[in-house]
Amino acid sequence: MPLVAHNNLPTFQRLRDHGQEVLSLDRAQKQDIRELHIGFLNMMPDAALAATESQFIRLVGNCNRIAQFYVYPFSIPELRRGAAAEAHIREHYFDFSRLQEQGLDALIITGANVINPSLDQEEFWHPLIDIVRWAESHVASILCSCLATHALVKSYYNIDRRHLPHKQWGVFSHRVAEPTHPLMRDINTRFDAPHSRYNDVSREQFEGVGATVLVDSEEAGVHMAVSPDQFRVVYFQGHPEYDAISLLKEYKREVVRYQRDERDVAPRLPERYFSQAARSIARHHIQLVQKAKSDGDTFPTFPELELAAEIDNTWGDTGKAIINNWLGLVYQLTNLDRTQQFMPGVDPDDPLALSEA
């Protein structure tokens, strides 16, 4: 069902341009369809702010639930921003205090860049935890991406993430560990998912505090888990929201950093992401970069179009299906009056019971 363009956020027009249905506010208000109001706490750095915004809003808009989806992006003032990002947030994002007053049905929290050895030393830590504490009693579910997952398990369970020997970077095969969970309904038992992180919370750490691991990988670790109550907090370490070229953009940024001597060695290729032809193109480009560095010449143009043509998206449909299942449970949990009227005896606070009803 369609998203509703309830303000002038440019992402809505970008999604329209790519063929997604987005209703104008005027048209939406003339339809008798239930609304869901989703908060979207975007903590990503400036370079990824708009892309992450588009990725998650698109996932929400792909839900097949009969509802109109209002997505409210907001951020944390303590995060340091450049002028362009500050202007974008000031014009298009919402104040959290206003969202508290109007209410939300669910909350999505993105990752963020960190600069301190411990997450609770970051400037965003206390504002983030304040938002989470409010959400615990005011939304049906919180969905966390990557760094947000690590922050919440640190806050809830004092779990410290483990720094990995090298960046977990690429597209990995995963297996559904709990196929009967309602979030896994109609999900392929094996599927790919991207990861991009330097830190990890292990299966043993999740299960040690009563959380349930829903999807994991022998190579990449836990992709998705849920809180002990099975739904109130959904944890992702991977990135179901990524576009086909998201890892390519990250790889390009690392190559540019190598050119600028901001890193000592050329970046590793993302694992199982590039085709054999793409790997050859990327390695040849690095050779040209190294020669240019040695000779003091102009750096070659990054072969972005050639690499993009060799990339396959093997995770997008599964990501959409999982978010669809999540929003479906949010839809049921927030429709308490209808639940009690048509499903007597079902506990509206039990998402598993609601899913089975």
DSSP 53: H
Question: In 3-state terms, what secondary structure has residue 189?
Answer: coil
Could you report the per-residue pLDDT of 128-161, keeping only the tens digit for each? Answer: 999 999 999 999 999 999 999 999 999 999 999 9
What's the pLDDT band for 230 if we cut at 50, 70, 90? very high
pLDDT of residue 1: 58
CA atoms of 112 and 126, how far apart (whole Å)? 14
Q: How confident is the model at residue 3 (pLDDT cuts 50, 70, 90)?
A: confident
How does strand 35-41 pair with strand 68-74? parallel
Domain co-membership, 270 together with 137: no
**Residue 124 shares a structural domain with residue 151:** yes
pLDDT at position 349, please?
55
Same-domain check for residues 24 and 169: yes
What is the distance between the alpha carbons of residues 83 and 302, in angstroms, rounded to a whole number?
Answer: 27
* pLDDT at residue 351, as a whole number: 53
3-state helix, strand, coil split of the chain in percent (to 5) is 40, 20, 35
Same domain, 300 and 339: no
Directed axis angle between helix 10-17 and helix 46-61, to 10°?
60
How far apart, in whole angstroms, are the C-alpha atoms of residue 148 and residue 135?
Answer: 14
Backbone angles phi, psi at 114, to 5 degrees: -125, 150
CATH number of the domain encompassing residue 190:
3.40.50.880
What the block records as the tokens of 310 is 């060799």
15-34 average pLDDT score: 81
| 92 and 235 housed in the same domain | yes
- At residue 184, the pLDDT reads 96
**Burial group, residue 64, by CB count within 10 angstroms (0-12, 13-18, 19+):** exposed
Residues 257 and 192 in one domain: no
Q: How confident is residue 23, by pLDDT bands cut at 50, 70 and 90? A: confident
Site of tokens 């193109």: 281
Q: Which residue, 308, 323, 346, sits at the end of a domain? A: 308
Which domain does 272 fall in, by range? 246-308
- Mean of the per-residue pLDDT values of the chain: 92
Question: 59 and 320 in contact (C-beta within 8 Å)?
Answer: yes
Q: Look at the chain and report how many structural domains it folds into.
A: 2
Q: Round to the nearest angstrom and report the end-to-end CA distance of the chain.
A: 22
Instruction: Tell me the residue type at 17.
Output: D
Task: Give the side-chain half-sphere CA count within 13 A for 194.
Answer: 24
Q: What is the pLDDT of residues 336-354, one digit of tens each?
A: 544 343 333 445 556 555 5
326-330-332 Cα angle (round to 5): 120
What percentage of the chain has pLDDT greater than the value 90? 82
Residues 157 and 259 occupy one common structural domain: no
Region 286-291 average pLDDT: 98
Do 229 and 251 lie in one domain? The reply is no
pLDDT value at position 28?
77
Same domain, 301 and 334: no
The whole-angstrom separation of Cα 24 and Cα 97 is 25
Q: Region 237-262: what's the mean pLDDT?
A: 97
Residues 91, 184 within the same domain: yes
Query: Quick one: 204 and 71 in the same domain?
Result: yes
> Does this model's pTM top 0.95?
no
Name the residues annotated as catalytic.
146, 239, 241
Give the pLDDT of residue 338.
Answer: 40
| The pLDDT of residue 346 | 43
Q: Which of 114-118, 123-127, 216-220, 321-325 has the least mean pLDDT?
A: 114-118
At residue 209, the 3 state secondary structure works out as coil
**DSSP assignment, residue 183?**
G
Task: Round to whole Å and give the CA distance between 175 and 168.
Answer: 17
Q: Please, are residues 227 and 233 in contact by the beta-carbon 8 Å criterion?
A: yes
Q: What is the pLDDT of residues 113-137, one digit of tens each?
A: 999 989 999 999 999 999 999 999 9
Tokens of 19: 């063929």
For range 12-41, the mean pLDDT: 86
Lowest-confidence region among 31-45, 193-207, 234-248, 311-325: 31-45
Assess whether 177 and 130 both reside in one domain.
yes
